Chain A
Amino acid sequence: MADATFKILRFDPDSGKGPYFQAFRVPLENKGLTVLDGLNHILENIDGSLAFRSSCRAAVCGSCAMHINGKHRLACNTQVSSLNTQSITIRPLAHLEVEKDLCVNMDQFWEKYELVRPYLVPGSPPPEKERIQSQEDREELNVVIDCIQCGCCYSACPVTLSSKEYLGPAALLKIDRFVSDSRDGAHVQRIEQADGPYGVWRCHNVFACQCCPKELDPPRSIAHVKRRLMRRRLLGGGK
Chain B
Amino acid sequence: MGVFVHICRDSGLQYWDVILGGNLMPYHDVLVIGGGLAGLRAAIAVNEMNASVGVISKVHPLRSHSVAAQGGVNAPLGNHPRGGHDSWKKLAYDTVKGSDFLADQDAVIKMATEAASRIHEIEHWGCPFSRTEEGKIAQRPFGGAGFPRTCYASDTIGHALLNTAYEQTVRFKQAAERRELAIYPEWLVLALVREGDECQGVVAMELKSGKLEVFGSGAVIFATGGSGRIYANTSNALINTGIGMAVPYWAGVPLKDMEFEQFHPTTLLGKNILVTEGARGEGGFLLNSKGERFLANYPDSQKAMEVAPRDIVSRNITREILDGRGFEGGGGYVHLDLRHLGREKIMERLHGIRTICLEFAGVDPITDLIPIQPGHHYTMGGISCNTACETGLHGLYAAGEVACVSVHGANRLGGNSLLETLVFGKIAGENAAKYVQGKGAAGKIGKAHERALKKTEEKIEGLLTRENGEDAASIKKEMTEVMAKKVGVFREERCLAEALACIKELRVRFKDVALRHRGRGWNLSLQMALELEGSLDVADAVAAGALSREESRGSHFRTDFPKRDDEKWLKHTLAFYSEDGARLQYCDVRPGPVRLEERKY
Chain A positions near chain B (C-beta within 8 angstroms): 12-14, 30, 32, 43-45, 47-63, 77, 79, 99-101, 103, 106, 110, 113-114, 117-120, 122, 126, 128-135, 137-138, 141-142, 145-146, 148-149, 178, 181, 183-184
Contact = CB atoms under 8 A, between A and B. Distances in A.
Given A14-B519, A119-B168, A138-B128, A61 B524 contact: no
A61 B185 CA distance: 14
Interface stretch (B119-127, B312-320, B401-409, B478-486): B119-127
B66 to A, nearest CB: 10
Contacts of A130: 77, 119-120, 123-124, 129, 136-137
8 contacts: A14-B520, A47-B516, A48-B517, A55-B237, A63-B60, A100-B208, A129-B120, A148-B159
Contacts of A57: 237-238, 271, 273
Interface in B109-160: 119-120, 123-126, 128-137, 153-154, 156, 158-160
A6 B62 CA distance: 28
A48 B525 contact: yes
A122 B167 CA distance: 13
B359 interface: yes
Given A14-B521, A61-B62, A119-B167, A183 B126 contact: yes
Given A49-B519, A55-B59, A118 B167 contact: yes
Contact of A61 (B63, B134, B174): B63
Contact of B160 (A129, A137, A145): A145
Given A48-B516, A131-B124, A60 B136 contact: no
Nearest to A82: B359
A138 B159 contact: no
A63 B63 CA distance: 6
Nearest to A145: B128
The dominant DSSP class at the A interface is: loop
Contacts of A142: 154
B521 A12 contact: yes
Contacts of B500: none
Nearest to A183: B126
A58 B208 contact: no
A61 B135 contact: no
A146 B159 contact: yes
Given A12-B521, A60-B68, A61-B237, A133 B131 contact: yes
Q: How large is the interface on B (under 10, 10 to 19, 20 to 34, 35 or more residues)?
A: 35 or more
Interface of B: 59-60, 62-65, 67-68, 77, 119-120, 123-126, 128-137, 153-154, 156, 158-160, 163-164, 167-168, 170-171, 173-174, 208, 237-239, 270-271, 273-274, 352, 355-356, 359-362, 471, 473, 515-517, 519-525
Contacts of B131: 133-135, 138
A100 B521 contact: yes
A109 to B, nearest CB: 10
A148 B156 CA distance: 11
A131 B356 CA distance: 31
Contacts of B65: 55-56, 61
B368 to A, nearest CB: 16
Nearest to A138: B131
B481 to A, nearest CB: 14
A118 B165 CA distance: 11
Nearest to B125: A120
A122 B164 CA distance: 13
B59 A134 contact: no
Contacts of B360: 32, 58, 77
